[in-house]
Amino acid sequence: MSKALVGIIMGSDSDLPVMSACAEICEEFGIEFELDIVSAHRTPEKLVSYAQSAEERGLKVIIAGAGGAAHLPGMVASETPLPVIGVPVKGKSLEGMDSLLSIVQMPGGVPVATVAINGAKNAGILAAQIIGASDTSLREKITAYKLEMKEQVDAKSQKLQKVAYKQYLREMKK
């Protein structure tokens, strides 16, 4: 029996290089996850059975990534009471704007929590925050993660004050 709390699905394996960032975040925060390919248009029955069984299987959040017409997150949201996070995946044309609009512009009553185009990392963090809304120890891990990001920016800021900007740029290119 899988004890996955986060279900990560994507419309195509071509989305995996982007969507793997969700899995990395779950690993970083120690959240069990499952990963699968579910296409709204090519495997519609699988989509329905996946979404309808999600709650019963113990999932708390579903992250769905898709490009193009990107119907996957919205269709999944319509078949489950769980929060669904949508990741618009940038395709070859329209720069992901097509996917962003079809994921975010859901009708009233069936929300999809949309993140930035290719924003898979934030989708993972958002899933952690949603689970963390009722889990103090997970919230502490997220707080520590944010603090680490702050320290990284502080370190860069200090370096920029110390070295000439041209040298900073040269080192960035390495």
Partner 1 sequence: MKFVSIVMGSKSDYEVMKSCSDTFEAFGVNYELIISSTHRSPERTTEYIQEAEKKGAQVFIAAAGMAAHLAGVLSSKTVKPIIGVPMSASALAGIDALLSTVQMPAGMPVATVAIGRAGAINSAYLAMQILALDNEELAMKLKEDRISKAKKVEMDSLEIETIIK
- Least CB distance to partner 1 at residue 19 (A): 14
- Minimum CB separation of residue 145 from partner 1 in Å reads 8
Told to check if 134 binds partner 1 by CB under 8 A, we report yes
Smallest separation, CB 42 to partner 1 (Å): 25
Residues 6+ apart with CB under 8 A from 163: 171
28 sits near partner 1 (criterion: CB under 8 A): no
Query: Among the candidate windows 31-39, 42-50, 134-142, 166-174, which touches partner 1 by CB under 8 A?
Result: 134-142
In the complex with partner 1, which residue's Cβ is closer, 101 or 160?
Answer: 101
- Examine residue 167 and tell whether it contacts partner 1 (CB under 8 A): no
Verify binding: residue 70, partner 1, rule CB under 8 A.
no
Interface pick for partner 1 out of 94, 110, 160, 169 (rule CB under 8 A): 110
Q: What DSSP assignment string belongs to the chain?
A: ----SEEEEESSGGGHHHHHHHHHHHHHHT--EEEEE--TTT-HHHHHHHHHHHTTTT--EEEEEE-TT--HHHHHHTT-SS-EEEEEPP-SSGGGHHHHHHHH-PPTT---EE--TT-HHHHHHHHHHHHHTT-HHHHHHHHHHHHHHHHHHHHHHHHHHHS-HHHHHHHHH-
Q: Does 113 bind partner 1 (CB under 8 A)?
A: yes
Q: Applying CB under 8 A, which residues contact partner 1?
A: 60, 81-83, 85, 100, 104-117, 119, 121-123, 125-126, 129-134, 139, 142-143, 145-146, 149
